[in-house]
Amino acid sequence: MTQLRVESLSKTFGGVHAVAGLSFEVARGAVHSVIGPNGAGKTTLLNLLTGIYVPSSGRIAFEGDDLTGRAPHEFAARGIARTFQNLQVFSNMSALENVMVGRYLHERCSLLAAMLRLPRVARAERECREESAELMRFVGLGTYLSAAAAALPYGALKRLEIARALATRPKMALLDEPAAGLNPTETLAMDELIGRMAGLGITVVLVEHNMRLVMGVSDHILVLDYGQKLAEGTAEAVREDPRVIEAYLGAAER
């Protein structure tokens, strides 16, 4: 069943067509990957799908609701979470607080209630702290519970962003190059974490350069080149597609 529907989506920066007339659908559940050479428009696509960029034209519908032109926080409120290639960690807070921020949508309270610290706020705060700690353990950051976010190593920060995204209780999680900069052991662990996320019933949309990771975890792959759809299908189908091979390796001599 279609969860996300993208119709002839375009984004231009000056004369550059970063995403040009792209249409595709993402079915509920499982792992969907978006791959393509550098500059293919993958990150632009994620920015469009989270409201950070407003499309030049086209439509984005999530679970039947048209979200085109909405603010990023409205995309989040519908259940779309994401992580960033260039990390957006709250470096002025503790690691645990970073995850607690992710719970924002589910423990909203008025400013007045917060300032007076009404009993229900204090209770929600305790629960938030415990659930956030639980999420940190889930992504494998149990040892950093009392650490400052700024003190975490790079690989841990990537997991921290995933924990924060999970804290929003998303229906769909967009991961922008979660394995970039990780060593082979860490990549393997990331592979396993993505599998567990999908196991929670979250639709995972993965933008990734690491082909071994992509081919291993993906149920469905979308290949972009110059902002357009080059190919789409299962890992096997995409791997055999001559256009994909050409885009990545260059054309064979004829």
Q: From the CB of 243, what's the least distance to another protein, in Å? A: 33
Rounded CA-CA distance 33/210 in Å is 11
Q: Least Å distance between CB 52 and another protein?
A: 6
Shortest separation between residue 129's beta carbon and another protein, angstroms:
6
The pair of structure tokens assigned to 124 is 């929600």
Nearer to another protein by Cβ, of 126 and 254: the residue is: 126
What is the three-class DSSP state of 92? coil
Q: Where are the beta strands (DSSP E) in 28-184?
A: 31-35, 57-62, 65-66, 80-82, 172-176
CA distance 96 to 169: 16
Write out the two tokens for 172: 């769909």
The DSSP bridge partners found for residue 123 are none
For another protein, the closer of residues 59 and 169 by Cβ is 169
What is the radius of gyration, based on Cα positions, of the chain? 19
Please, what is the minimum distance in Å from the beta carbon of residue 55 to another protein?
17
Smallest separation, CB 108 to another protein (Å): 6
Q: Is the CB of 127 or the CB of 236 nearer to another protein? A: 127
Cα–Cα distance, 206 to 35 (Å, whole number): 8
Comparing CB distances to another protein, the nearer of 117 and 212 is: 117
The answer to whether 59 and 8 are in contact (CB under 8 A) is yes
Instruction: Tell me the C-alpha distance between 24 and 214, whole Å.
Output: 18
Query: In the bound complex, what is the minimum distance in angstroms from residue 77's beta carbon to another protein?
Result: 5
Residue closer to another protein by CB (options 47, 218) is 47
For binding to another protein (CB under 8 A), which residues are involved? 50-52, 71-73, 75-77, 81-82, 84, 88-93, 97, 100-105, 107-111, 114-117, 121, 124-126, 128-130, 133, 146, 164-165, 167-168
78, with CB counted inside 10 A (0-12, 13-18, 19+), is middle
Nearer to another protein, 108 or 212 (CB): 108
The nearer residue to another protein, 30 or 101, going by C-beta atoms, is 101
What is the nearest approach in angstroms of another protein to the Cβ of residue 195? Answer: 23
Query: Rounded distance, CA 121 to CA 153, Å?
Result: 33
